[in-house]
Amino acid sequence: MIHDMGGKYHHGDLHAELVRVSLDLIAEQGVEGFSVAQVAKRANVSAAAPYRHFPDRSSLMSAVAAAAACRLRDLVDKVITEEPDPVTRLASAQGTYTRFFIDTRLGFPVLFADGLANPEYTEMHDQRRAMFDTFLTLSLAVTDGHATALELLEQLNAQSHGYGALYLDGVSPRMGYSADQVVAKSTRAARIVIEAYRTAGQR
């Protein structure tokens, strides 16, 4: 059992607690400047304690990215479960990403943070691949081929992330838009792009 600065954890509990604290810190301040030292302080453990579970910052970030990818995929699955129209499903999934990014800051900068290419981060790679496959399957349902589906998804991802970034950077609020309005805008914009791809593919 670990005792650090008043904290009391079993080894497995501290591992999960460090990931949870990391998620909270990123939601508050973004991934920039995120450090293991900050996480240790917030978790009320010594600066050395996290390194018993994560050898370095990238290792901890890989666990955070795995959790983020899993959460996002679960949210998308809930949104699309009872929606039969493929265009609405994909547009709603993109709006869900915007909402998720606004609420948690756990967007692409976390999912594809520097240092995550290590093949040893198997859980992160598996979760991220499952998340991507969910979006790609939705994109394939409205396009005429794999290459087109990837191109559409790239454009939609840039768009849905951009809407979230504009909100988090304070641009959208200064223009009078709430988070709900920004999510609605992201979803509508995604639908416009999807319909354009479908029309082009039918020519």
Q: What is the pLDDT of residue 1?
A: 31
Q: What is the pTM of this model?
A: 0.89
All residue ranges of the chain with pLDDT < 70 are 1-12, 201-203
Q: What is the pLDDT of residue 46?
A: 87
Q: What is the pLDDT of residue 117?
A: 92
Q: What is the pLDDT of residue 29?
A: 87
Q: What is the pLDDT of residue 4?
A: 44
At a CB cut-off of 8 Å and minimum separation 6, what does 142 contact? Answer: 86, 87, 90, 149, 152, 194, 197, 198
